[in-house]
Amino acid sequence: MWDARLYNSFEKERIQPSLDLTYRISADKVNRILDVGCGSGMSTRALKARWQNSEIIGADLSREMLAKAKETLPEVKFVCRDCSLPFGNLGKFDIVFSNAFMQWIPNQKQFIANSFEVLNEDGIFAAQIPLFNNMPANDCIINAYNEIKGNRFDSNDIFTIHDERQYYDLLSQFSHNIDIWVTDYYHVMDSHSKILEFLAGTALRPYMQKLKENQVADFLNVVKNKLSETYPMQKNGKVLFAFKRLFITATK
């Protein structure tokens, strides 16, 4: 189960990519927007701020996250559904927005096809994908998990993350106007414990779910120690936590 409270406790760090992607979209008149994998509604808030008069539908499978989203944005329609499956019954849209969601879907080609199917002509598909597999924190988690479990496990078994060339090839089947870029966000954290807390809201969840209850505390402790070794403390006691994200916009 997703923890909306924990996820939202790092609102500043989590909402900025949604804002950056939203304001990169070159569309002023937008009637309908679909926020796929909307979670607690952070990305939906960014969309609502940009297109105040547009109809926005947020879709997610987590009822806990949707409850938080509805509490924050009562004027927006939120629906509970598996967004890896077709969503043509929701109608047509001018924008399909996907923030930090695609990495959870193994068949991303089908998801992209589903998204373009519901886009109007000249509609825009916009996505942000955490490049977590390319980050040192990912190695910290994998190595800690394998130490606790005593076996070999790879993050590719949990996340599906392609590189920019692969995403271009997938999108070029549906669009002739594609923009792709990568941004490194340097989050200023108070401690390595804060990095651990940040990761516990997303990236650590699948690993914790695979462990026995009496293994979780040891796992988190090993992850924290490895984070401390990997991310040096600054002179003022803060820790710079670099987070790499891939962005895409593609016009139908």
**CA atoms in the 13 A half-sphere facing the CB of 94:** 14
User: What single-letter amino acid sits at 23?
Assistant: Y
pTM: 0.91
In tens, the pLDDT along 84-135 reads: 999 999 999 999 999 999 999 999 999 999 999 999 999 999 999 999 989 9
In tens, the pLDDT along 182-234 reads: 999 999 999 999 999 999 888 898 898 888 999 999 999 999 999 999 999 99
Contacts of 100 (CB under 8 A, 6+ apart): 14, 17, 37, 39, 43, 128, 129, 130, 202, 245
Rounded-to-integer distance, Cα 158 and Cα 171, Å? 23
